[in-house]
Structure 1
Amino acid sequence: MPELVLLRAVFDHLGTGVYATDTSGRITAANARAGQITGRPAEQALGQDLHDLLCRAEDGTVLPAEQCRIHTATRAVLASGRPAEGSEEFFLRDDGTLVPVLWAATALHVEGQTAGAVLVFRDFSTRRAAQQETAAYLAALEELTARLSLIAEISEVLVSTLETGEVLRRTSRLLVPGLADWAAVDLFRADTEELERVAIHTRDDADAAAGLEGPLPPLPEPSGSHLVRVLRGIQPVLLDPDILARETDSPLATTHQDLFDQLGGHSAVVVPLYSRGKVFGSLTVGRTAGSPPYTDAEVTVLADIGRRAGLVVDNAQLFAQQRHVAEAMQRQLLTPLPHVDPLGIAARYRPAQAVAEVGGDWYDAFVLPGGVTALVIGDVVGHDLPAAAHMAELRNMLRALAWDRRGPPSLIMEHLDDAMTHTSGAPIATAFLAHVEGSEGGPWRLRWTNAGHPPPLLITEDGAHYLQDDPDPPLGMGDTLGMELHRHDGTDPLPPGSTLLLYTDGLVEDRARPIDIGMARLRLQATALAHRGVEDFCDELLERIDPDGDDVALLALRMPPAGVGAAHGAAPPRVQHA
């Protein structure tokens, strides 16, 4: 009949494989597509038990019927009439290979009776391969993301401080357990071949690392040790159990082997910490039982971390060298203080902790003709060599003008401003100049002028207060404003035993708080320390306030007790220079 011919054509040319089975599971019909998928012509499949002929485990072994989803699903379909489907089963092809199939089973009814089942299936290999490829890609992407996140986190730690030991300790902690069960860092001391183990971190047992940090034996020459090879070159070394089992050939190699003896490890990587071709130390990471061996990709990541750490060590050492040079240069630009009996004078200079540059902060004290002591504190704009040079220039100009011009501080400051404007390329600067005036034994007074500088602090028995007055504009502003500036003087008594503190803004300014808070804190701390000797006063004040955002210069004057220095026919105050 035409209808049967049509149905047969559909059955034969359907794009999916079709098997019909009887109630016992034997194949009673198969279309052409089924033969193409399984590699078995219909005549070869007819009469065969579908499960025994085709169903296999993923590894190709015979699959018990009770464990076969197609078999159990077909039985359930025959019993309940409800269809079933699946996608994780495999058919055995005629050539012995396996093909994953996507399938669906329904009951076959003939004249109201269940005559068997129909299994429709498709070759799932292409789709399955795509899924596996996607899963593998996602897994690789997740691993890459994790590695990049770790590198980013380590990079953030590496630039967080210039304290090398702390940076390397924090880095070793980040590596465990992400890339290691334990990590150790060996570092050369600056500009020497003296090695020290500065950091070690373990996953579980911190006590196992006890005693492993500290100085290490000298670098042998020659040596076949993997650690020495890393310290003599810039290539990472991957250690497997065979390499780890080799006997050591030097005391340094023995101390490195101690890591594995105490912490364990079947796989390890040693990478250099290097920059600009110079090796500063090494990073050793190890994996113990239960962790997989290191892969080439992980070695590459660790080598990159070692390179980044080496760059940080290099920068820290360069910073320390530059800082040392900068401090030495800055201190050479500052003059020694005179000893003026019975006055006590002390000064301190502290460079900024975050930069290795000379700056424009300065202090000065000298005795003028007639025995008057001049005190100066100043700050030239900038934190570089030109600022330091301009600072020295202004200091010398001020000294010369103060000695030559017999007048009040305001007049000297006006001459300095005029000279700075017309003969110097110095930028804007602030300065405070004071004369300590009085007869021997007192009373004493301070005559001063302020060119835009923070006000001095005077501490007496009655408390502490700033010598507040509307300060004159900073030096160098007259030319900017296009006008001649007239400066004025202030006068304040200096009671017996009082302390006068001159300072630069780095002592009270902080990005984290307003300057008012800094000045209140300075007054509180200075008042608490006023009973100390003037040298201890300066040291303790810096320690308590601990400025680190900018250069700081201090100049402290301690007045003698009442009557000290008074004598009949006494000579002018004795002046000595340190």
Structure 2
Amino acid sequence: MTGTDDSQCPVPRSGAASEQALHHAAQQIQDLVRAQGRMNSLLEAVLALSQDLELSAVLHRVVTTAMDLVGARYGALGVLREHGSGLSQFIPVGLSEEEVERLAGVEYPTGHGLLGRMIHQREPLRVRDIGAHPDSAGFPPGHPPMRTLLGVAISVRGRVYGNLYLSTRHDGLPFDVQDEEVVTALAGAAGVAIENARLYEEVRSGAERFQRLLLPRLTDLSPFEVAAVYQPAEGRHHLGGDWYDALMLPDGACAAVIGDVVGHDLVAAAAMSQTRSMLRALLYDRGTPASKVLTQLDHTLHAITENPVTTACLARIEPAGRGWDLCWSTAGHPPPLLLAPGSEPRYLEAEPGLPLGVDAALERPDHRCALSVSTTVVLYTDGLVEHPRHHLDSGMDALAGVAAKHAEGSLEDLCEALVANAPGDGHDDVAVLALRTPAVLPAA
């Protein structure tokens, strides 16, 4: 009978040891699942950050995203000054309205305490008990109680741009190494997003400045009054095609034009500049009707350029025995708005012509309207009244209502009010040009 070797037989574990091993294995699996879920959340957060280009929106999203990743109740982002110590911005998130009111007037961290320490160091900081930390300087009056802290620096092009602060996990536990790692990873992506937003703002600022340089500086048109406003689209970094111009003609008439080149790029901006320059030259042909000028402009543009489709409204205000005559023609553009003393605002609805660049062979109709003294003619681009969720008529009615309230004030105030209260959705450039006839009748 062959005996057995006890050394070759597995020894069953005790129930407690087996249970402990199972618990450890389950914990590892949970940690892996949690880590995988957090990694997916981090990737989603990075993608979300890359979609924002407004710097203020990017900074706020950085804080809220970090709070979500580690389950923090409070978060803040301190932006360092360009030169010197201290913060230029401090963006808190998670405070109630009452807490925000209690902290009104409290200065940004200046270099003292834990937040101040973060200003001078690049390394992440994890604190289990803020009050017990040797660098703690306490909280200002009205500050909500906070015990734990996780701070991570955000660098842009190798320079510390600011610091991300998180406090108070919802589960009551202190921040751990995994929290630090995921927030540090987020801070790296945040640096790229912040730099993109800063570059975007520089481009947008330069584009807007370039756009304004292309527009004319209105000269003295006495005895007429004139004012204009241009406003770029909100949240866009493009060049626009909106333009205007006004000048006195040799025959004593005052000419005014407003237009909108289709597109939002350098091509549109260049086309706008070319169109305005050509139109100025054509307007000096004495007494030519507005429709003929637009037709000649259309032929010229078609022959020597490849300009995109353009809408325009060209008007001449001519002296007449009883006052002035407004003679105008449109190329697919919204109608002028007339503000006459003692009368309700009204649009000069008339048969429109085709936009420039569609068919140069088709002529456009001319229209005429008598003007009394101190009458204002408002020309505008469609961005002022168009809204995707509203009918165009409602936008034009709203514009007329704003104009009625400011019709008797200065033309500068009128233009500013029309832009500030525009019924449009702000996603397109806006230009407004207003002319007012003299307060006395023209000489015979």
TM-score by length of 1: 0.65
C-alpha displacement of 1:174: 7.3
Q: What is the aligned residue count?
A: 430
Task: Indicate the residue corresponding to 1:82 in structure 2.
Answer: none
Residues 85-124 of structure 1 aligned to structure 2 (within 5 Å): 98-99=14-15
Task: Indicate the residue corresponding to 1:361 in structure 2.
Answer: 242
Query: Structure 1 residues 280 and 415 mapped into 2: Cα distance closer, same or farther (>3 Å)?
Result: same
Task: Indicate the residue corresponding to 2:3 in structure 1.
Answer: none
C-alpha displacement of 1:131: 7.6
**Pick aligned residue for 1:545 from 387, 403, 422:** 422
Task: Indicate the residue corresponding to 1:448 in structure 2.
Answer: 328
**Pick aligned residue for 1:379 from 260, 264, 267:** 260
C-alpha displacement of 1:146: 6.5
Counterpart amino acid of residue 329 in structure 2: T
C-alpha displacement of 1:550: 0.7
Q: Distance in 1 between matches of 2:305 and 2:70?
A: 60
C-alpha displacement of 1:330: 1.2
Residues 159-178 of structure 1 aligned to structure 2 (within 5 Å): 159=51, 162=54, 164=56, 167-168=59-60, 171-172=63-64, 175=67
Query: Structure 1 residues 477 and 227 mapped into 2: Cα distance closer, same or farther (>3 Å)?
Result: same
For residues 280-330 of structure 1, give each alpha carbon's deviation from its aligned partner in whole angstroms, at most 9, with x where no partner exists.
211122348983332222112212333344344333322322222122211
**Pick aligned residue for 2:121 from 200, 219, 229:** 229
Q: Which moves more between the two structures, 336-345 or 129-138?
A: 129-138
Matched, 1:282 2:175: no
Task: Indicate the residue corresponding to 1:121 in structure 2.
Answer: none
Task: Indicate the residue corresponding to 2:295 in structure 1.
Answer: 414
Counterpart amino acid of residue 550 in structure 1: D
Query: Structure 1 residues 396 and 172 mapped into 2: Cα distance closer, same or farther (>3 Å)?
Result: same
Greater RCO, 1 or 2 (C-alpha within 8 Å, sep 6+):
2
**Pick aligned residue for 2:29 from 137, 158, 172:** 137
Question: Contact 1:273/1:309 (CA < 8 Å) preserved in 2?
Answer: yes
Q: Distance in 2 between matches of 1:241 and 1:348?
A: 56
Q: Distance in 2 between matches of 1:379 and 1:519?
A: 18
Q: Distance in 1 between matches of 2:126 and 2:95?
A: 20
Question: Contact 2:338/2:347 (CA < 8 Å) preserved in 1?
Answer: yes
Q: Helix, strand or coil: the match of 1:473?
A: coil
Residues 302-451 of structure 1 aligned to structure 2 (within 5 Å): 302-404=183-285, 406-439=287-320, 442-451=322-331
**Pick aligned residue for 1:245 from 117, 120, 133:** 133
Q: Distance in 2 between matches of 1:355 and 1:192?
A: 32
Query: Structure 1 residues 242 and 156 mapped into 2: Cα distance closer, same or farther (>3 Å)?
Result: closer
Task: Indicate the residue corresponding to 1:487 in structure 2.
Answer: 364
Query: Structure 1 residues 537 and 303 mapped into 2: Cα distance closer, same or farther (>3 Å)?
Result: same
Counterpart amino acid of residue 275 in structure 2: L
Aligned-residue Cα RMSD (Å) equals 3.9
Q: Distance in 1 between matches of 2:68 and 2:50?
A: 16
C-alpha displacement of 1:403: 0.9
Percentage identity across paired residues of the two chains: 31
C-alpha displacement of 1:469: 1.9
Residues 67-82 of structure 1 aligned to structure 2 (within 5 Å): none
Question: Contact 1:169/1:199 (CA < 8 Å) preserved in 2?
Answer: no
Q: Helix, strand or coil: the match of 2:339?
A: strand
Q: Which moves more between the two structures, 208-217 or 386-395?
A: 208-217
Larger radius of gyration: 1
Task: Indicate the residue corresponding to 2:90 in structure 1.
Answer: 198
Query: Structure 1 residues 177 and 273 mapped into 2: Cα distance closer, same or farther (>3 Å)?
Result: closer
Counterpart amino acid of residue 444 in structure 1: W
C-alpha displacement of 1:472: 1.1
C-alpha displacement of 1:162: 2.1
